[in-house]
Amino acid sequence: MARASRLVKPERQELIRLEVLRREQLSPHWMRVTLGRGDVAAFHPMGFDQWFRLFLPVGGESGLARIPEKANTILGYLAYLHIPEGQRPVLRNYTVRQWRPAPAVAGGVPGSVRAGSSAAESSPVVATQPGQSSAEIDVDFVLHGDGPAAQWARTCEPGENVVILDEGIAFNPERGVENVLLAADETGLPAVAGVCASLPEGARGTAYVELPDAADVQDFPMPPGVRVVWLPRTAGQRPGSLALQALRDHEIEDVASIHAYLVGEQSLPTQGRRLLVTERGVAKDAVSFCGYWRLARERG
């Protein structure tokens, strides 16, 4: 079975060099790192679950200059692997938790822009922050284990450089934005938050979000017709199992109009998609899904 549905790619894909502006511990298992300056003006927000490849200077910032321009192609990735170990940046995939425009664009007006005629128009726009001088991108890191990305998020300092490569969105709004069913483990929380913030005001639906701890619950904007059900795990429960059970118990009132979105540990989108398609009659092309990680291959 496919590991992910077809993506909506950005108009342009280029390496974007950014600086760490600040980091903030949000909860026991979440660290937020805010990026900006550098080439941030080259980043074009698409809203929803926009994701990117993140290159971290774990081996020193000199390795960032050696990243090939097309690092997301086969040849580009092979060139990336030829960077000597110890200098090669760590590569991981992350989601835009929130994008804030430069103050001159935002005008300091709070609020958000919901789904419109184009992907760019559906990017949530929020008020600028005090002292903000350029556009900013918030990236939330799950702090599970001692992997290099989680460790970097815990210790990075303002002024450090990173490189990102935009990959677009997996939640295809052409499949529907009025009636949604979302399910994710903690790794999919930033994506669910982005999707909910980008939905039109009249959207309705349910989002099931599984967490390692009840203290990791987050607030984010969503239409009044959308509800979030938080599912804190207890010790020993497999990641994704609670969200999958919630899908089994969920009653779909209008199968014809539903757009399901399933992300997280591989078993959740794989089994969840099979459940919705074979047992509930949801059309295959009405399910956007992506396996973010495998339990036996957990990486920080």
Number of folded domains that form the chain: 2
41-63: per-residue pLDDT in tens?
999 999 999 999 999 999 889 99
Supply the CATH number for residue 41's domain: 2.40.30.10
Report yes or no on 136 lying in a domain: yes
Report yes or no on 200 lying in a domain: yes
What is the pTM assigned to this prediction? 0.88
The DSSP string of the chain is: --SBPPPB--S---EEEEEEEEEEEEETTEEEEEEESTTGGG-----TT-EEEEEE-TT-GGGGGG--TTTTSHHHHHHHHTSPTTTSPEEEEEE--EEE--HHHHTT------S-SSTGGGS---PPPTT--S-EEEEEEE--SS-HHHHHHHH--TT-EEEEEEEEBSS-GGG-SSEEEEEE-GGGHHHHHHHHHHS-TT-EEEEEEEES-GGG-------TEEEEEEEE--TTPPTTHHHHHHHHH---S-GGG-EEEEEEETHHHHHHHHIIIIIS---GGGEEEEEEE-GGG---
Give residue 86's domain range.
15-168
Same domain, 136 and 184: no
Q: Is the pLDDT of residue 119 over 60?
A: no
Same domain, 177 and 287: yes
Residue 290: the pLDDT is: 94
Same domain, 128 and 188: no
Summary mean pLDDT of the chain: 89
Same domain, 144 and 195: no
Same domain, 110 and 154: yes
Same domain, 134 and 223: no
Supply the CATH number for residue 244's domain: 3.40.50.80
Report yes or no on 184 lying in a domain: yes
Same domain, 22 and 160: yes
121-173: per-residue pLDDT in tens?
455 556 666 666 789 999 999 998 788 999 999 999 999 999 999 999 999 99
Report yes or no on 42 lying in a domain: yes
Give the domain-ending residue among 153, 168, 183. Answer: 168
Report yes or no on 7 lying in a domain: no
**Percent of the chain beyond pLDDT 90?**
79
